[in-house]
Amino acid sequence: MRTIEVLVTVASNGRLLINFPVDMPAGEYNAVLVMEDQPTQKHTQASVESAQAIFRQYIPASRKLSEELIQERREEALRE
């Protein structure tokens, strides 16, 4: 028996969509599903904010990494 934590989506038609790990062999399984009372949207936003805070410890908000990447790509294109 394995315990697998996965993100699931409940569609408006009641279907349950599961992003299952690819290392499981195909086939039918008996499973028990335990779900939180609320959707994870609040948790997702908190996770994003936490990741941004960690990122900002190393890269200041004033630095625009997207612009730096675009500039690097332009310079590479000119060298080709």
Tell me the pTM.
0.38
What was the pLDDT predicted at 32?
84
CB 10 within 8 A of CB 16: yes
Rounded mean pLDDT of the chain? Answer: 84
42 contacts: CB under 8 Å, gap ≥ 6: none
Cα dist from 12 to 9, 15, 16, 17, 65, whole Å:
10, 7, 10, 11, 38
* DSSP single-letter state for residue 40: T
Residue 65 and residue 54: Cα distance in Å, rounded?
A: 16
pLDDT value at 40 more than 70: no
